[in-house]
Amino acid sequence: MAGAVQRLALQGFNQWLVEMRACARDVGLLAIQAALVERCREEDLGSERKAMLAALAAPGGRSVRGIAADLAMSPFRQDLLKEASPDADKQQAQQQDNSGSSGNASSSSASFSNMAGGGNGSFSSADASSLRELLKRPSRKWSPAAEPLTEAALQPAQLPDLEDLHPGEPQRAIHALVQQQKLRRGSHAAAAGRPSPQQQQQLAQELSSRHIRSLLDVDMSGCHAAVHVAKSLGCLDAFRQHYLGQRRLQVSADLQPPQDFVECHRAYLAQVAGFFVVESYVQRVSDGLVGPAEGAALWAGAQRPLKAALEAAFERLGTASLMLLVKDFVLLVCVALERAGYQVAPIIELLQATQVRYHELLSAQLQGQLAAVVEADVLGELQIRNEAQHLATVAEFGLPWQLEGSGTGRRAQLSPSGVPPLPYVAPFTCCVPEVLCLVRRYVIDSLAYLRGLHSPQELLPAVLHQRDRMLGKVRSA
């Protein structure tokens, strides 16, 4: 009998392992999305702090109460309020209707929104939307929760003797007993009434749209049953070795890199991240099956093939934009794994090593663009005809509108906004603003790649170092 129970529990446990691998991708995407939301929130908070300091330092004497009112009505704070209370938007609408101040609220919200800026970071909104679309794709359909049993079903029933069902065959007897209980529950559900076709269609739609929203949606019943049986039979150590062996086989299969890494890197990395997020969850709820040491050993064994796959992928990426895209996603995966309790320093070091190749590709791209701009310049006069053109070509880059020592007396004719008398001829050709725009774009792209790989204190020196290296290459070219 003990052997039959053990085999039955092991069968359910193996099925649970298959289900865990199937749902790992959804779990990984959920963890990555949480890391993305956290990073965007930190950037929004940083933009908010800068806007508040600018408002406090601005001349005009705005009160702290007024700045706080704009802060409370900003879109960022309203989104936080909705996350904290799903009915907050309804309550706010009712309050605005009662007070009649919806117009003032919208204007103050718009003013602070313009002042605060975006703060979405280098990971674009399109990438975030595609992440959410990936998250909506379920890896498997979950069975609906069982209907509450009727009073008759809750009453204890007389169970047949296992020896009478299949004498000498305890495993067949257990299966027969389980089937009898299923039929018994099914008969009570049928007596309660069959759902209408409309209800069946609605239920099917709900099941098709259901996906993992949190780790609480992960079904752990197969694991709990197997652990309980192993403890009862005194074979928990052997069962633990079986579990670890199966999980090593699963992670080895998940770590096989895809052929087209650019197209499949999100699904690949989400599967790996989901595996270890689920593993961390199993450590917390499996009642002694595995501990942090076993999870750390699994992660240590997976680091080498994962680093090899990432190194090969970064070497094959031919443009700086693709490297930035993959780097941003890998960094989000590292944040998700770190929140699950894993050490991700080796992966961060790998990303730091890729910054050399990234800036080489970025510099080569910039050199080609600069050569095209200089070649297209005809060395003609640049006429500044209106204020908008002056702001876009001269004031935007801090360029002088006249050479030092020329145009004596004209500086006194500047307008209150600092615009010289129009029209005038700029002391440089049209390629100068274009060159400065390309250099600025290089610095912005460099900052986007280095963000997250260096501490805030090291970020600015690293960007300036890459800029100086680029200028040295351009001069020598």
For 188-206, the pLDDT digits (tens) are: 434 434 444 554 445 344 4
Residue 178 three-state SS: helix
The DSSP element (H or E) to which 382 belongs, if any, is strand 382-384
Q: How confident is the model at residue 362 (pLDDT cuts 50, 70, 90)?
A: very high
Higher pLDDT, 418 or 280: 280
Asked if the structure places residue 252 within a domain, the reply is yes
What's 207-269 look like in SS3?
A: HHCCCCCCHHHCCCHHHHHHHHHHHHHCCHHHHHHHHHHHHHHHHHHHCCCCCCHHHHHHHHH
Higher pLDDT, 318 or 152: 318
Q: Are 366 and 474 in contact (CB under 8 A)?
A: yes
Share of the chain above pLDDT 90, in %: 34
Q: Are 357 and 314 in contact (CB under 8 A)?
A: yes
Going by DSSP bridges, is the β-strand pair 382-384/424-426 parallel, antiparallel, or unpaired?
antiparallel
Asked if the structure places residue 23 within a domain, the reply is yes
**Do residues 263 and 333 share a domain?**
yes
pLDDT recorded at residue 326: 95
**Do residues 16 and 98 share a domain?**
no
pLDDT recorded at residue 115: 33
d(CA 471, CA 474): 5
Higher pLDDT, 123 or 422: 422
**Do residues 225 and 371 share a domain?**
no
Phi-psi region of 206 (alpha: psi -120 to 50; beta: other; left: phi over 0): alpha
Asked if the structure places residue 51 within a domain, the reply is yes
Q: How confident is the model at residue 471 (pLDDT cuts 50, 70, 90)?
A: confident
d(CA 441, CA 124): 16
DSSP 8-state assignment for residue 385 = -
Asked if the structure places residue 149 within a domain, the reply is no
Indicate whether 127 pLDDT > 80: no
For the residues 61-69, what does the mean pLDDT come to? Answer: 78
**Do residues 289 and 367 share a domain?**
no
pLDDT in tens, 137-183: 433 333 333 333 343 443 444 545 545 656 666 556 656 655 665 45
Mean of pLDDT over the chain: 76
pLDDT recorded at residue 466: 92
**Do residues 423 and 290 share a domain?**
no
The DSSP element (H or E) to which 336 belongs, if any, is helix 320-339
pLDDT recorded at residue 178: 56
Most confident option among 46-50, 99-103, 190-194: 46-50
**Do residues 234 and 327 share a domain?**
yes
CB neighbour class for 271 (10 Å; exposed up to 12, middle 13-18, buried from 19): buried
**Do residues 247 and 291 share a domain?**
yes
**Do residues 330 and 379 share a domain?**
no
Share of the chain above pLDDT 70, in %: 69
Cα atoms in the 13 Å half-sphere on the side-chain side of 473: 19
Higher pLDDT, 46 or 402: 46
Report the number of distinct structural domains present in the chain: 3
Indicate whether 5 pLDDT > 90: no
Asked if the structure places residue 239 within a domain, the reply is yes
pLDDT recorded at residue 396: 84
pLDDT recorded at residue 337: 96
**Do residues 131 and 232 share a domain?**
yes
Q: How confident is the model at residue 85 (pLDDT cuts 50, 70, 90)?
A: low
**Do residues 130 and 17 share a domain?**
yes
Indicate whether 136 pLDDT > 50: no
Q: How confident is the model at residue 307 (pLDDT cuts 50, 70, 90)?
A: very high
Structural domain boundaries enclosing 27: 1-34+124-135+205-343
Indicate whether 405 pLDDT > 80: no
Indicate whether 315 pLDDT > 60: yes
